[in-house]
Amino acid sequence: MGRKVNVIAAIVVAAVILYFVNAVYTANIISFQTQSTGDLNGDGKVNVFDLVIAGKSVNSYPGHAKWKPAADVNRDNRIDVQDLDYIKTRFGTVSR
Ligand SMILES: [Ca+2]
Ligand SMILES: [Ca+2]
């Protein structure tokens, strides 16, 4: 009986820890999201080359053969038209 209560308590504690880890993780994603420049190849400029990099990874996700973390500029674990649009809005900008 007492053992069962301990198991339940352990599950609750684990769930609470996971909740907070997830909250911190989400906060990091949001802060990183605001810092994204759209400069995927790191040459300091946002142009068609960055769009091509993202274009090659469209419809990919973490673990996918074409997945490229840098191309997921909005950090939603999916490279799609939203990321391409973001890079397009950053076209011509210079990072740093
Ligand atoms: Ca670039
Ligand atoms: Ca994305």
- Residues 43-93 have pLDDT tens digits of 999 999 999 999 999 999 999 999 999 999 999 999 999 999 999 999 998
Cβ-in-10-Å burial (0-12, 13-18, 19+) of 71 comes to buried
Domain 38-96: state its class. Answer: mainly beta
Residue 17 burial (CB count, 10 A): 10
Q: Where are the domains of the chain?
A: 1-35, 38-96
Report the pLDDT value the prediction gives residue 94, as an integer from 0 to 100: 84
Distance from residue 61's CA to the centre of ligand 2 (Å): 9
Give the number of whichever ligand sits closest to the CA of residue 71: 2
Q: How far is the CA of 95 from the centre of ligand 2 (A)?
A: 20
The Å distance, Cα 37 to ligand 1 centre, comes to 9
- Which residues on neighbouring strands pair with residue 19, listed in sequence order? none
Residue 11 pLDDT level (bands cut at 50, 70, 90): confident
Question: In angstroms, what is the span from residue 96 Cα to ligand 2's centroid?
Answer: 23
